[in-house]
Amino acid sequence: MEDHTIIATEDNFGAVSVCPGGIVHVSLLHVTLKLLPSDFEKFSDLIAKARVNFSRPRRSDGKPRLQVVTSEPASDDDSEKS
């Protein structure tokens, strides 16, 4: 990677670089994507769209609820108890 030109970096996360052959390398902690420049532009657009539509999970007010779901059909005994 010595001959790559780094075009973006984020400490402890990843980097984007371009090699002399023009391939764009998106390197994250344990994965590297190698993209043609046109595919990198499409990938960038895709991530930008996802970021606009992304909403962080919000904590609900109050206590969490637990719902037990069973795959067994309800028996006649269960319907008589209601």
**Res 35 pLDDT > 80:** yes
**Contact in structure between 28 and 16 (CB atoms under 8 Å):** no
The rounded distance, in Å, linking the Cα atoms of 71 and 81 is 19
Cβ-based neighbour number of residue 16 at 10 Å: 20
Name residues whose C-beta falls within 8 Å of residue 41's C-beta, 6 or more positions apart in sequence.
none
Find the mean pLDDT for residues 3-18. Answer: 95
* pTM, two decimal places: 0.62
Q: Over the Cα atoms of the chain, what is R_g?
A: 24
pLDDT given at position 17: 97
Name all contacts of 2-9 with Cβ < 8 Å and 24+ positions apart: none
52-79 pLDDT per residue, tens: 888 766 666 667 677 788 887 766 665 5
pLDDT given at position 8: 96
